Structures are given as C-alpha cells and as structure tokens.
Amino acid sequence: MNVTVCPASSPLRGTITVPGDKSISHRALLLGALAEGTTTVHNLLRSADCLSTASCLKALGVGIEGLEGSGPVTVAGRGLQGLAEPEDVLDAGNSGTTARLLLGILAGQPFTALLTGDASLRRRPMARVTAPLARMGAQILGRRDGSLLPLAVRGGRLRGGHFALPVASAQLKSALLLAGLNAEGETSITEPAPSRDHTERMLAAWGVPLRRAGSSVILPAGPRLRAQTVSVPGDISAAAFFLVAAAILPGSQVTIKGVGVNSTRTGVLDVLARMGAPVTLTDRHEESGEPLADITVAAAPLQGVEIAGPLIPRLIDEIPALAVAACYAQGETVIRDAAELRVKESDRLAALARELGALGADIRELPDGLIIRGRPLHGGEVKSHGDHRLAMALAVAALAARGPVTIAGADCVSISFPTFFSQVPGTRRH
Ligand code: S3P
C-alpha cells in the first residue's frame, strides 16, 4: 500500500489516545503463558508483532482468547515447564522481541523447537542471545554458528550465572531473565546502560523476588510465577510521532492520554523539552506496576541538540521521530552512540538519511548516528524500507513539508500501530 500525506492545513489541536504499549503487550502474553493460572490483559496491542507472539505461544499449546475483539485477552498459563513441543516451525514474523524473548523461554523447555522470521528478522543479530543461552546449557543451531534465524533450539536443564551484556538491550536482558526462570542457581545480569525494565517490573509484580543492585538485576533460583490481571499503558513509542508532529506544526497543542512514562522510555520527552517544546505531564498514576500520564506538547521554535550516551537506550525507538524534529529545528542535531539502529527492522541510520534526504533534508550519516541541520522539507516520493517506524516518521515529516509526500510500502505500520494513518489528517491510501 502507498499512502500520500498532505501538508497539514491547520494546526493539530485536541486530545487523542494511542494503542497499548508493544513491549508490555509482548511480555504480558509471554509471562501469562509461563504463569500458574489465567492471566487477563486489558488494552493489549493487537498489532502484527504482538499477534506473532500470540501465534507462537498458541503453537506451544497456550490457550489465548479474545484477540479478535477489543476487550480483555486471557492467557491460560501452563507453568514454567508446561509448554508443548510445537508441530511446525514457529514464525516470529517481523518481531525481534518475539524472537529473542521466545529463545529465552525455549532454552528452558525439554523439547526441540524451530524458530524463524521474515526477511528483515532473518538478517538481525541473534548471537547476542544464543551465545549466553548456550552458556546456560541450551543447544542452539543455525546459520553462522547460531547467529541468524532460522534457529533450532533443543532446550533443557539450564544453569544460571553472571552475564555482562555487550549492548544495552532489553530484548537480550529479558531473554536471559526468562531463561533464568528455569535455571538452577541464580541468574544475574549487568547492563552497560539502563534499558527498558518492563520485564523486571512485571516479574516482580507476578511474585518473583528479583533484586536490583546498581546496574545489575539478580533473579533467584526456583521462582514461581502467579497469573495476574494486567493493564497495558498507551505506547510512548507510538505517541512519539504525534508529540513530534505537535512540536513542529506551528500553533499546535496535543494531549495524549494514558501513556506509559516509565523513565527507561521517556528520553523522547527530555529531548523535545531540550529542543524547546513545552512538555507537560498530568494525571500521573500507576497501573500494573508501570507509571502512566497524560502528555501535552505544544509547538515552539525548536533548537538542534546532541543526543548520545546513556540517553540512547531511553529513546532508541524514537530516533526516527526525533530525526524529523531535527529537520524542522534551527541549527544542528547530532545523534551518536546509536549504532544499534543499523540492526533494527531496517538500517535506520541509512534509511533515515536516504529518505529524509529525498525530501530535501540536510542529513549526514555517521557510523553510529546522524548529523542533521534544520531546513524546510519539500514533498516527494519516499520508501518505508518495510520499517513501521520509518513509515510513521516520514508521515510526520510530510505534515510539515511544503508539498505532499507519497510513502511506498506504508502498510508496515500494522507492525506496531495498525490505526496510525486513520489518526493522521490529510492521508490518502492508494
Ligand atoms: C524492545 C527493546 C528494544 C526496542 C524494541 C523493543 C523490547 O530493542 O528497540 O523495539 O520490547 O524489549 P533492543 O533490546 O534490541 O534494544
């Protein structure tokens, strides 16, 4: 599907909601499958990625009800050791979170499973997960020494241990925590910088006595996981596109209600505020161990900023949206320490440079980042590279551009935000 987005004819004003958080939705399904009892999930994100997790779990014998509707979803937990050997290859689709977290679970199950994904996922690095899982005792075979999907996993008895992560990756940390649930001895993990901690919060809320010490998390041996009722907050990574749109379109003010504002995810708010956009949080409260708030952002003249260091994991998925904000800011924005973007759903550094460049942006690639000098963008034809966040970032760029922008392959927004284009004014599908 191609979508044409026209320059906004008026400021964005009003109150909106965004779908449930993708990271938390995956985890609610996965932990629900491993728990004792039936888990109920409110506001689960029904996007292609989360449906990939659900279909893999169903193939492992887990009963999941309610996915077709918009009400609560129930997951009939099978306990830590209760999954069934799948009859066919498990398909994680486009979803890195499904593949990596599932590898952690499969490592501790006493059977063989095969796991694959789409062309993008089959290019993404898995050795960061498979190497430590092999150290814990799992047998994993695949191309390039088990570093690329498809992978065959023969799980079984695992040993815990200490793991110092080479990258700040919540997917890697979570895979090891999930494997650690079935390991003998404690599992401890040290991160180079804090990544999203939804797995830790959820495990704690579900009865696992995790300990945190500095940059480490320690999972004791022999935990029990009790089914819960979970309420999924709105996804700040989905909200980011509208926050940036409001910040760059003169006269705009948008409130997004009920968004997750876990501090491991709110780097985008810090950067927008530093760029000069007024950001306010109201109605702060907590649900299912996660903080939520209504976020209001208004348009303002933006300034270029530097985005680097430990801030990067706190906004890793928001860099496409922030790159668009940088295009409409005065002066230079420098993004560094973000080489991980080269191994996301697309090589996001190359894809952003190419596609924003095609709209007239002054944007240069660094090995681990981007340098962007603000100047107005024009209309044109761009490609999504099959990457949902690129498609949405380009749509936001179009709202503030001088002419219409046609985005080829825009249907990939279904990966994380199926209703995105219905919430963007002035779009035409063809
Ligand atoms: C995610 C972690 C991040 C993020 C991804 C979702 C998660 O990936 O980019 O969209 O749910 O754990 P990494 O762990 O590879 O940084």
Whether residue 228 is contained in a domain is answered as: no
Pocket test for ligand 1, best of 171, 268, 290, 343 (most atoms within 8 A of CB): 171
- At 216, the amino acid letter reads S
Q: Output the CA 237–ligand 1 centroid distance in Å.
A: 11
Same domain for 42 and 14: no
Whether residue 100 is contained in a domain is answered as: yes
Which of 91, 317, 387, 411 is an active site residue? Answer: 317
- According to DSSP, the residues that pair with 140 across neighbouring strands are 153
Same domain for 377 and 327: yes
Question: How large is the average pLDDT for residues 330-356?
Answer: 98
Determine how many CB atoms are found less than 10 A away from the CB of residue 16.
Answer: 14
pLDDT tens-digit profile of 276-287?
A: 999 999 999 999
Whether residue 226 is contained in a domain is answered as: no
What is the number of residues in the chain? Answer: 430
Distance of CA 359 to the CA centre of its chain: 26
Whether residue 272 is contained in a domain is answered as: yes
Question: How large is the average pLDDT for residues 285-305?
Answer: 98
Using CA atoms, how far residue 411 sits from 94, 98, 390, in Å, is: 13, 20, 11
Q: What was the pLDDT predicted at 75?
A: 99
Instruction: Scan for tokens 């107005």, then name that residue.
Output: 376
pLDDT tens-digit profile of 98-155?
A: 999 999 999 999 999 999 999 999 999 999 999 999 999 999 999 999 999 999 999 9
- According to DSSP, the residues that pair with 251 across neighbouring strands are none
The response to whether residue 262 sits with its C-beta less than 6 Å from ligand 1 reads no
Q: Output the CA 338–ligand 1 centroid distance in Å.
A: 13
pLDDT level of residue 377 (50, 70, 90 thresholds):
very high
Q: Give the residue from 220, 253, 269 where a domain finishes.
A: 220
The response to whether residue 53 sits with its C-beta less than 6 Å from ligand 1 reads no
Q: What is the CATH classification number for the domain harbouring 338? A: 3.65.10.10
pLDDT tens-digit profile of 43-58?
A: 999 999 999 999 999 9
Q: Which is nearest to 234 in space by CA: 52, 64, 392, 417?
A: 417
Answer whether 299's CB lies under 8 Å from 276's CB: no
Whether residue 393 is contained in a domain is answered as: yes
Q: What was the pLDDT predicted at 56?
A: 99
Q: Output the CA 313–ligand 1 centroid distance in Å.
A: 9
Q: Output the CA 196–ligand 1 centroid distance in Å.
A: 8
Q: What was the pLDDT predicted at 316?
A: 98
Q: What string of DSSP letters covers 75-139? A: EE---TT-----SS-EE-TT-HHHHHHHHHHHTTSSSEEEEE--TTGGGS--HHHHHHHHHHT-E
Same domain for 7 and 37: no
| Tokens found for residue 365 | 């690639």
Q: Output the CA 234–ligand 1 centroid distance in Å.
A: 16
Whether residue 307 is contained in a domain is answered as: yes
Same domain for 41 and 11: no
Give dist(CA 126, CA 116) in Å, integer.
11
Q: What was the pLDDT predicted at 254?
A: 98
pLDDT tens-digit profile of 222-254?
A: 999 999 999 999 999 999 999 999 999 999 999
Same domain for 74 and 135: yes
Same domain for 172 and 294: no
Using a pLDDT cut of 70, give the percent of the chain over it.
100
Planar angle of CA 73, 110, 34, nearest 5 degrees: 20
Number of structural domains the chain divides into: 2
Atom of ligand 1 at shortest range from CA of 199: 12
Whether residue 227 is contained in a domain is answered as: no
pLDDT tens-digit profile of 400-415?
A: 999 999 999 999 999 9
The response to whether residue 175 sits with its C-beta less than 6 Å from ligand 1 reads no
Same domain for 212 and 258: no
Q: What was the pLDDT predicted at 263?
A: 98
The response to whether residue 169 sits with its C-beta less than 6 Å from ligand 1 reads yes
Whether residue 211 is contained in a domain is answered as: yes
Same domain for 28 and 16: no
3-class secondary structure, 199: helix
Same domain for 425 and 311: yes
Q: Give the residue from 220, 251, 281 where a domain finishes.
A: 220
pLDDT tens-digit profile of 155-206?
A: 999 999 999 999 999 999 999 999 999 999 999 999 999 999 999 999 999 9
- According to DSSP, the residues that pair with 406 across neighbouring strands are 4, 381
Same domain for 179 and 68: yes
Atom of ligand 1 at shortest range from CA of 173: 14
Pocket test for ligand 1, best of 25, 121, 169 (most atoms within 8 A of CB): 169
Pocket test for ligand 1, best of 100, 129, 316, 344 (most atoms within 8 A of CB): 316
**pLDDT averaged over the chain?**
98
Using CA atoms, how far residue 413 sits from 48, 296, 315, 422, in Å, is: 9, 24, 19, 11
> Which residue range is the domain that position 116 belongs to?
22-220
Same domain for 175 and 139: yes
Question: How large is the average pLDDT for residues 379-387?
Answer: 98
Q: Give the residue from 187, 220, 253 where a domain finishes.
A: 220
Phi-psi region of 90 (alpha: psi -120 to 50; beta: other; left: phi over 0): beta
Same domain for 254 and 344: yes
Residue nearest to atom 4 of ligand 1 (CA): 317
Q: What was the pLDDT predicted at 192?
A: 97
* Burial class (CB within 10 angstroms; exposed 0-12, middle 13-18, buried 19+) of 416: buried
Q: What was the pLDDT predicted at 282?
A: 98
317 catalytic per annotation: yes
